[in-house]
Amino acid sequence: MKEIVIISGKGGTGKTSITASLAVLGKDKVVVADCDVDAADMHLLMKPDFAQSEEFFSGELAIINQEDCIQCGKCAEVCRFDAIPFTNNTYIVDELSCEGCGYCSRVCPTDTIMNIQQNVGHWYVSGIKTGSKMVHAKLAIGADNSGKLVAQVKNEAKKIAEEGDYDYIIVDGSPGVGCPVVSSLSGANYVVLVTEPTVSGLHDLKRVYELVHKFNLKAGCIINKFDLI
């Protein structure tokens, strides 16, 4: 079983359409992994049935039990992310600002702050129109840790491919060169770089090629929309 990862330095090059085309050509011998979890859109092309849905937890979030809070303000003082504003005479954790570092709970004199795991999205295993399976995900709005979710999607796809009679995993990677892309590339047997004949397309292709080169991965390039110029 081989793993082919399709990436592009920038968005809008047609990476997902090419990934879907390869998946259709491979029919029921190909497991699809949509690792573009920040802006997943493979489901628009592959018609998944969302047969299995799982919550994805990553990172922590502080929660204040108001009953035991004596409003000393120590938690707000130590929070370097200003995530505990004093609003309406109450200290409340701002979920979008909290980084889950746990410092506030260490200084709280009444031990009334708990850290809980954050639900930052969902991942799915679906039957798709090719007769095969697809693993895909959706990150919650404003959530980070998409690199971890990418790893989860890839691991599930690998498990399905190994347990079933599949020849390939085809991975739709994230655009750019950040953590989710690095996570997409892990374990790849071959990388397809998709670009377009524009100045920004070439600029971003060079950046992503450097990354692929550092990982010492075999790669080829598709110049999509070649008739733009």
* 83 vs 128, beta carbon nearer ligand SF4: 83
Q: How many CB atoms lie within 10 A of CB 205?
A: 20
22, 24, 63, 69: residue in contact with ligand SF4 (rule CB under 6 A):
69
Name the residue nearer to ligand SF4 (CB basis): 11 or 102: 102
d(CA 146, CA 178): 10
Do you know the residue count of the chain?
229
Question: Rounded CA gap, 195 and 222, in Å?
Answer: 6
Which of 29, 43, 74, 122 lies at the binding interface for ligand SF4 (CB under 6 A)?
A: 74
Phi, psi for residue 87 in degrees, rounded to 5: -125, 130
Q: Which of 102, 131, 178, 197 is the binder for ligand SF4 (CB under 6 A)?
A: 102
Tokens of 118: 């954050």
Distance CA 33, CA 14 (A): 16
Is position 178 an interface residue for ligand SF4 (rule: CB under 6 A)?
no
Name the nearest CA neighbour of 205 among 71, 9, 15.
9
Site string for ligand SF4, 39-68 (x = CB under 6 A): -----------------------x-x----
The secondary structure of residue 39, as a DSSP letter, is G
Cα separation, 177 vs 120, whole angstroms:
22
Least Å distance, CB 179 to ligand SF4, is 20
CB nearer to ligand SF4: pick between 81 and 190 = 81
Q: Which is nearer to ligand SF4, 100 or 187 (CB)?
A: 100
Contact indicator for 93, 114 with CB cutoff of 8 Å: no
Window 104 to 163, contacts with ligand SF4 (CB under 6 A):
104, 108-110, 112-113
Q: According to the binding rule CB under 6 A, does residue 83 interact with ligand SF4?
A: yes
What residues line the site for ligand SF4 (CB under 6 A)?
62, 64, 69-75, 79, 81, 83-84, 91, 93, 98-104, 108-110, 112-113
